[in-house]
Amino acid sequence: MRHTTLGHSAVQVTGLSFGAAGIGNLYSPVEPDQATAAVDAAWDAGIRYFDTAPHYGLGLSERRLGEALRGRPRDAYTLSTKVGRVLEPVPAAELPPDGPGDDLANGFAVPATQRRIWDFSADGIRRSIEDSLVRLGTDRIDIVYLHDPDHHEDEAFGQAYPALEKLRGEGVVGAIGAGMNATAMLTRFVRETDVDVVLCAGRFTLLDGSALTALLPEAAARGKSVVVGGVFNSGLLADPRPGATYDYAAAPAALLERALRMDAVTRRHGLP
C-alpha cells in the first residue's frame, strides 16, 4: 500500500488507516477475539497506520490495539492517539450500590468505572500521553492529535498546542495536529500553527463536503497533511437503513433518504 509523509515531518502513514473506536465497544460490545481479528485483517490488507484515543471505550480501544499489535516490529507501523481528555477512576464511594452503569451516553458499551476530565493544559497533555503509553504497552507514539477542542479553543491554542510543539521538538512524538469535526477550527490550526497534520472527521464525505471550502485548500497551500476520518458519517453511508447513525446520532430523515438513493444507484451498477 502507498505511504505518505505527513506535512514536513518524517512520519509516514499508509493511504488507508485503521480507526480503533470500534474495538473500544462503540455502540455495542465487541469480543476481545473479534477486536484482534479486526486488527489482523487490517494488517493483512496492508494497513500500517492505526489511530486510537483515550476517549474510545474509556481506554479500552488503546489497550486492545496495543495487545493486537504486540509482537509486530514497532518500526513496521505508525501509531496515533489523542489528548484533551484525561481518564480518572470513579471513586468507589461514588459508584451505585448495584455496580457501575455503562458509558452508552458517550457512545461506548463499557462499564463507567472511569470518567473523562477535559484537560488541555500543558501538564494534562503530558499526563495523557504518559497514560496512553501505558495502555498501549509501547515506548512511543508517532502522532498525537488534540482531540475535539471545540469548547476549549483558548486553552488548546494557548497551552495544549505549545506543549505538543515542545514534545515534538524533544523527539517524544514525531508529528502533531488536531482531530475534530469542526473544519473552521482545523483551518485555524493550519493557518496559525505549525501542525504537521489535521484529522478531519465526517466533513469530506458523500453527504458533507464542507472541508473543501477552506480546510483542504489551506492545507494544500501550506504543505500540511489532512487525514480524513468518519468517511461513512459514523454509519449512515456504510449501511443506510432506518436507525442508522449520522455524526453519532440518529440519522435525520432527509439524510437517510439521500443515502438510500445513493445506495440504489450503486446497487444498479453492481458496486458494493
Catalytic residue numbers? Answer: 56
The C-alpha atoms of residue 207 and residue 254 are separated, in whole angstroms, by 11
The C-alpha atoms of residue 272 and residue 270 are separated, in whole angstroms, by 7
Task: Compute the radius of gyration of the chain from its Cα atoms.
Answer: 19
**How many C-beta neighbours within 10 Å does residue 187 have?**
20
The DSSP result for 35-50, as a single string, is HHHHHHHHHHTT--EE
Element (H, E) at 133: helix 122-136
**Which single residue is written with the C-alpha cell 499508509?**
14
For CA atoms 22, 28, 32, 38, give the dihedral sign. negative
